[in-house]
Amino acid sequence: MQRITVISSASGSGKTTLARELARRLDAPFVELDALVHGPGWTETPDEDLRALVEPVVAGERWVIDGAYRGKLGDLVLRSADTVVWLDLPLRVWLPRLLGRTVRRLLGREPLWNDNRESMRGAFLGREALVPYALRAHFHRRRRYPVELASYPVVRLRSREEVGRWLERST
């Protein structure tokens, strides 16, 4: 494994944590796509600019990328990876993590990418807010991913124990 992308069924599943740890253990460059997509003031990087940032990364020999951003990048990251790690943890695992992380970030005014901060509105209010989006995405991706990812070298991890065992075997 030299070129790995970590994707998930929902926010809060531990995708970034796993990707960072994997990159550390493999001594490989780590790229968090959220940091490239969400500019200052939550401005979104245009698709062509994002592609220009990601293409040199995926052309490299070794990397761990957190995410795939298929809506913006198509299959660029997935087709470049020799391993696609799909974190597909149950709702009872990721939802409390997501809620806890979100509340911590809100109360602590914790800076995210490019000095952005979560807001109550962005986290909870409206269809595109983080928590409602994560709930929809979880069920949608669980239905879609088995077919959409069938042509890629996918490792599907469905429990915290599977994640730990896979990480130990793979590094």
pLDDT in tens, 81-99: 999 999 999 999 999 999 9
Question: Which pLDDT belongs to residue 126?
Answer: 85
Q: What are the backbone angles phi and psi of residue 82, rounded to the nearest 5°?
A: -90, -10
* C-alpha dist (Å) from residue 67 to 76, 106, 125: 11, 23, 24
Cβ-Cβ contacts under 8 Å for 12 (sequence gap 6 or more) = 94, 95, 97, 98, 99, 101, 134
Mean pLDDT across the chain: 96
- How far apart, in whole angstroms, are the C-alpha atoms of residue 82 and residue 89? 22
* C-alpha dist (Å) from residue 16 to 8, 35, 84, 121, 125: 10, 11, 14, 23, 24
CA angle 25-31-36, nearest 5°? 160
User: For the CA atoms of the chain, what is the radius of gyration?
Assistant: 16
Of 118, 132, 123, 113, nearest in space to 38 by CA: 113
pLDDT category at 128 given cuts 50, 70, 90 is confident
pLDDT at 35 over 80: yes
The residue-averaged pLDDT of 152-159 equals 97
